[in-house]
Chains A and B, each alone.
Chain A
Amino acid sequence: DSGVTQTPKHLITATGQRVTLRCSPRSGDLSVYWYQQSLDQGLQFLIQYYNGEERAKGNILERFSAQQFPDLHSELNLSSLELGDSALYFCASSVDSGVYNEQFFGPGTRLTVL
Protein backbone atom coordinates (compact mmCIF):
# COMPACT_ATOMS: atom_id res chain seq x y z
CA ASP A 1 0.00 0.00 0.00
CA SER A 2 1.59 3.25 -1.20
CA GLY A 3 -0.55 5.49 0.99
CA VAL A 4 -2.06 7.21 -2.05
CA THR A 5 -5.78 6.72 -2.43
CA GLN A 6 -7.87 7.19 -5.53
CA THR A 7 -11.61 7.13 -5.96
CA PRO A 8 -13.53 5.73 -7.62
CA LYS A 9 -11.81 2.50 -8.66
CA HIS A 10 -13.98 2.11 -11.72
CA LEU A 11 -16.06 4.57 -13.65
CA ILE A 12 -18.30 3.86 -16.62
CA THR A 13 -19.83 6.76 -18.45
CA ALA A 14 -21.04 7.86 -21.87
CA THR A 15 -19.46 10.04 -24.52
CA GLY A 16 -19.96 13.74 -23.96
CA GLN A 17 -20.19 13.39 -20.20
CA ARG A 18 -18.01 14.89 -17.49
CA VAL A 19 -16.37 13.01 -14.63
CA THR A 20 -14.19 13.86 -11.66
CA LEU A 21 -11.44 11.63 -10.35
CA ARG A 22 -10.19 12.14 -6.85
CA CYS A 23 -6.78 11.58 -5.30
CA SER A 24 -5.50 11.84 -1.75
CA PRO A 25 -1.70 11.94 -1.49
CA ARG A 26 0.42 10.28 1.13
CA SER A 27 0.50 12.05 4.43
CA GLY A 28 3.13 14.79 4.26
CA ASP A 29 3.47 14.81 0.47
CA LEU A 30 2.93 18.19 -1.13
CA SER A 31 3.15 17.24 -4.78
CA VAL A 32 0.52 15.39 -6.80
CA TYR A 33 0.89 14.05 -10.33
CA TRP A 34 -1.69 12.73 -12.75
CA TYR A 35 -0.99 10.13 -15.42
CA GLN A 36 -3.03 8.44 -18.12
CA GLN A 37 -2.23 4.85 -19.06
CA SER A 38 -3.73 3.42 -22.22
CA LEU A 39 -2.78 0.58 -24.49
CA ASP A 40 -1.95 2.78 -27.46
CA GLN A 41 -0.33 5.73 -25.68
CA GLY A 42 1.38 4.00 -22.77
CA LEU A 43 1.89 5.97 -19.58
CA GLN A 44 1.53 9.69 -20.21
CA PHE A 45 2.27 12.43 -17.73
CA LEU A 46 -0.63 14.85 -17.57
CA ILE A 47 0.00 17.44 -14.89
CA GLN A 48 1.72 18.12 -11.58
CA TYR A 49 0.58 20.24 -8.66
CA TYR A 50 2.68 21.35 -5.76
CA ASN A 51 1.11 22.76 -2.62
CA GLY A 52 -1.94 23.95 -4.51
CA GLU A 53 -0.13 25.44 -7.49
CA GLU A 54 0.30 23.97 -10.96
CA ARG A 55 3.96 23.00 -11.28
CA ALA A 56 4.29 21.22 -14.61
CA LYS A 57 2.08 20.35 -17.50
CA GLY A 58 2.45 17.38 -19.80
CA ASN A 59 0.18 15.94 -22.47
CA ILE A 60 -3.03 17.12 -20.92
CA LEU A 61 -5.92 17.88 -23.24
CA GLU A 62 -7.81 21.16 -22.97
CA ARG A 63 -10.93 19.16 -22.07
CA PHE A 64 -9.11 18.00 -18.95
CA SER A 65 -8.36 20.10 -15.92
CA ALA A 66 -7.06 19.50 -12.45
CA GLN A 67 -6.69 21.26 -9.16
CA GLN A 68 -5.16 20.69 -5.77
CA PHE A 69 -7.08 21.83 -2.74
CA PRO A 70 -5.79 23.32 0.54
CA ASP A 71 -5.99 19.91 2.20
CA LEU A 72 -3.71 18.72 -0.65
CA HIS A 73 -6.13 16.30 -2.22
CA SER A 74 -6.45 16.66 -5.94
CA GLU A 75 -9.16 16.23 -8.53
CA LEU A 76 -8.86 15.56 -12.23
CA ASN A 77 -11.84 16.71 -14.24
CA LEU A 78 -12.47 15.16 -17.64
CA SER A 79 -15.16 16.72 -19.80
CA SER A 80 -16.75 16.15 -23.21
CA LEU A 81 -15.56 12.59 -22.92
CA GLU A 82 -14.63 10.62 -26.00
CA LEU A 83 -14.18 6.91 -26.52
CA GLY A 84 -10.45 7.46 -26.67
CA ASP A 85 -10.40 8.79 -23.13
CA SER A 86 -11.00 5.28 -21.82
CA ALA A 87 -7.89 4.52 -19.82
CA LEU A 88 -6.42 3.92 -16.41
CA TYR A 89 -5.76 7.19 -14.62
CA PHE A 90 -3.08 7.19 -11.95
CA CYS A 91 -2.35 9.70 -9.30
CA ALA A 92 1.04 9.82 -7.66
CA SER A 93 2.48 11.92 -4.88
CA SER A 94 5.91 12.97 -3.70
CA VAL A 95 7.33 14.92 -0.84
CA ASP A 96 8.15 18.03 -2.87
CA SER A 97 8.18 19.25 -6.45
CA GLY A 98 11.58 18.04 -7.62
CA VAL A 99 11.83 15.63 -10.55
CA TYR A 100 14.37 13.64 -8.55
CA ASN A 101 11.73 12.48 -6.09
CA GLU A 102 10.32 9.02 -5.81
CA GLN A 103 6.69 9.12 -6.78
CA PHE A 104 4.23 6.96 -4.90
CA PHE A 105 1.42 5.75 -7.10
CA GLY A 106 -2.17 5.09 -6.23
CA PRO A 107 -4.04 2.02 -7.50
CA GLY A 108 -5.64 3.98 -10.33
CA THR A 109 -9.13 4.75 -11.59
CA ARG A 110 -10.26 2.78 -14.61
CA LEU A 111 -12.43 4.96 -16.82
CA THR A 112 -14.59 3.38 -19.49
CA VAL A 113 -16.34 5.66 -21.95
CA LEU A 114 -19.15 3.99 -23.90
Chain B
Amino acid sequence: AQSVTQPDIHITVSEGASLELRCNYSYGATPYLFWYVQSPGQGLQLLLKYFSGDTLVQGIKGFEAEFKRSQSSFNLRKPSVHWSDAAEYFCAVGARNTGNQFYFGTGTSLTVIP
Protein backbone atom coordinates (compact mmCIF):
# COMPACT_ATOMS: atom_id res chain seq x y z
CA ALA B 1 0.00 0.00 0.00
CA GLN B 2 1.08 3.53 -0.68
CA SER B 3 2.24 5.56 2.30
CA VAL B 4 4.16 8.64 3.27
CA THR B 5 6.33 8.78 6.37
CA GLN B 6 7.62 11.86 8.08
CA PRO B 7 9.75 10.47 10.88
CA ASP B 8 10.16 13.73 12.77
CA ILE B 9 7.03 14.87 14.55
CA HIS B 10 8.62 18.03 15.85
CA ILE B 11 11.84 19.89 15.07
CA THR B 12 13.31 22.94 16.76
CA VAL B 13 15.98 25.03 15.05
CA SER B 14 17.59 28.36 15.73
CA GLU B 15 16.91 31.24 13.42
CA GLY B 16 19.59 31.32 10.72
CA ALA B 17 20.38 27.64 11.05
CA SER B 18 19.88 25.16 8.25
CA LEU B 19 16.89 22.87 8.11
CA GLU B 20 16.17 19.44 6.71
CA LEU B 21 12.78 17.77 7.02
CA ARG B 22 12.62 14.12 6.10
CA CYS B 23 10.05 12.37 3.96
CA ASN B 24 9.96 8.76 2.80
CA TYR B 25 7.33 7.26 0.58
CA SER B 26 6.22 3.84 -0.42
CA TYR B 27 4.94 3.58 -3.95
CA GLY B 28 5.37 1.16 -6.83
CA ALA B 29 6.35 3.75 -9.42
CA THR B 30 7.72 7.25 -9.44
CA PRO B 31 5.06 9.27 -7.72
CA TYR B 32 4.21 12.90 -7.88
CA LEU B 33 5.76 14.42 -4.75
CA PHE B 34 4.80 17.59 -2.95
CA TRP B 35 5.68 19.61 0.11
CA TYR B 36 2.99 21.77 1.65
CA VAL B 37 3.19 24.17 4.57
CA GLN B 38 0.41 24.96 7.02
CA SER B 39 0.69 28.06 9.16
CA PRO B 40 -1.39 28.19 12.34
CA GLY B 41 -5.07 28.61 11.56
CA GLN B 42 -4.46 28.48 7.82
CA GLY B 43 -4.98 26.08 5.00
CA LEU B 44 -2.08 24.37 3.25
CA GLN B 45 0.14 26.12 0.74
CA LEU B 46 2.33 24.39 -1.84
CA LEU B 47 6.07 24.89 -1.35
CA LEU B 48 7.31 22.76 -4.23
CA LYS B 49 6.63 19.65 -6.27
CA TYR B 50 8.51 16.98 -8.19
CA PHE B 51 7.31 15.00 -11.17
CA SER B 52 10.36 14.09 -13.19
CA GLY B 53 13.65 15.42 -14.45
CA ASP B 54 16.11 17.25 -12.25
CA THR B 55 15.96 15.62 -8.84
CA LEU B 56 16.66 18.89 -7.03
CA VAL B 57 13.66 21.17 -7.13
CA GLN B 58 13.37 24.72 -5.98
CA GLY B 59 10.32 26.10 -4.31
CA ILE B 60 8.97 29.24 -2.78
CA LYS B 61 10.33 30.95 0.34
CA GLY B 62 13.85 29.65 -0.30
CA PHE B 63 13.00 25.96 0.12
CA GLU B 64 14.35 23.13 -1.98
CA ALA B 65 13.87 19.38 -1.99
CA GLU B 66 15.79 16.48 -3.42
CA PHE B 67 14.24 13.33 -4.82
CA LYS B 68 16.32 10.22 -4.20
CA ARG B 69 14.79 7.20 -5.87
CA SER B 70 17.20 4.73 -4.27
CA GLN B 71 16.15 5.89 -0.82
CA SER B 72 12.48 6.58 -1.65
CA SER B 73 12.99 9.97 -0.08
CA PHE B 74 12.04 13.54 -0.82
CA ASN B 75 13.63 15.66 1.90
CA LEU B 76 12.95 19.35 2.26
CA ARG B 77 15.79 21.75 2.97
CA LYS B 78 16.40 25.39 3.66
CA PRO B 79 19.89 26.85 4.18
CA SER B 80 18.86 29.55 6.65
CA VAL B 81 15.61 29.43 8.59
CA HIS B 82 13.60 32.55 9.38
CA TRP B 83 11.24 32.93 12.34
CA SER B 84 8.34 33.13 9.90
CA ASP B 85 9.07 29.55 8.78
CA ALA B 86 7.58 28.20 11.99
CA ALA B 87 4.68 26.07 10.78
CA GLU B 88 3.57 22.51 10.08
CA TYR B 89 5.11 20.88 7.03
CA PHE B 90 3.48 18.07 5.09
CA CYS B 91 4.96 15.78 2.50
CA ALA B 92 2.42 14.36 0.04
CA VAL B 93 2.27 11.81 -2.73
CA GLY B 94 -0.04 11.90 -5.71
CA ALA B 95 -0.56 8.36 -6.89
CA ARG B 96 -1.66 8.29 -10.47
CA ASN B 97 -2.10 4.60 -11.05
CA THR B 98 -4.20 3.94 -7.97
CA GLY B 99 -7.05 6.13 -9.07
CA ASN B 100 -5.82 9.60 -8.31
CA GLN B 101 -5.23 9.02 -4.62
CA PHE B 102 -3.45 11.53 -2.45
CA TYR B 103 -1.49 10.57 0.61
CA PHE B 104 -0.17 13.02 3.16
CA GLY B 105 2.42 12.38 5.80
CA THR B 106 1.60 13.07 9.42
CA GLY B 107 3.44 16.35 9.32
CA THR B 108 6.48 17.87 11.00
CA SER B 109 5.98 20.81 13.30
CA LEU B 110 8.80 23.33 13.08
CA THR B 111 9.65 25.69 15.92
CA VAL B 112 12.16 28.46 15.29
CA ILE B 113 13.93 29.97 18.28
CA PRO B 114 15.58 33.39 18.14
Mask, B8-34, CB within 8 Å of A = 1, is: 000000000000000000000000101
- Please report the total number of A residues contacting B with Cβ < 8 Å: 26
Q: Which of these, B95, B99, B104, contacts A42 with CB under 8 Å? A: B104
Q: Footprint of B on A, CB under 8 Å? A: 2, 4, 33, 35, 42-45, 48, 55-58, 90, 92, 97-100, 102-108
Whether B44 and A42, one on each chain, are in contact in the complex, defined by CB atoms closer than 8 angstroms, is no
* Residues of chain B within 8 A of A105, CB atoms compared: 36, 43-45
Q: Which of these, A4, A44, A102, A104, contacts B49 with CB under 8 Å? A: A102
- Please report the total number of B residues contacting A with Cβ < 8 Å: 24
Q: Which of B80-114 contact A (CB under 8 A)?
A: 90, 94-96, 99-107
* Residues of chain B within 8 A of A107, CB atoms compared: 41-43
CA distance A98 to B51 in the complex (A): 12
**Can you list 9 contacts pairing A with B, beta carbon distance less than 8 Å?**
A42-B105, A44-B104, A92-B43, A100-B32, A105-B43, A105-B44, A105-B45, A107-B42, A107-B43
Whether A103 and B46, one on each chain, are in contact in the complex, defined by CB atoms closer than 8 angstroms, is yes
Whether B100 and A97, one on each chain, are in contact in the complex, defined by CB atoms closer than 8 angstroms, is yes
Whether B46 and A58, one on each chain, are in contact in the complex, defined by CB atoms closer than 8 angstroms, is no
Q: Which of B52-76 contact A (CB under 8 A)?
A: none
9 tightest Cβ-Cβ pairs between the two chains A and B: A99-B94, A105-B43, A56-B100, A43-B104, A45-B102, A105-B44, A42-B106, A102-B46, A100-B32
Q: List 4 additional A-B contacts (Cβ < 8 Å) besides A2-B45, A33-B102.
A: A45-B102, A48-B102, A99-B96, A100-B96
* Residues of chain B within 8 A of A108, CB atoms compared: 43
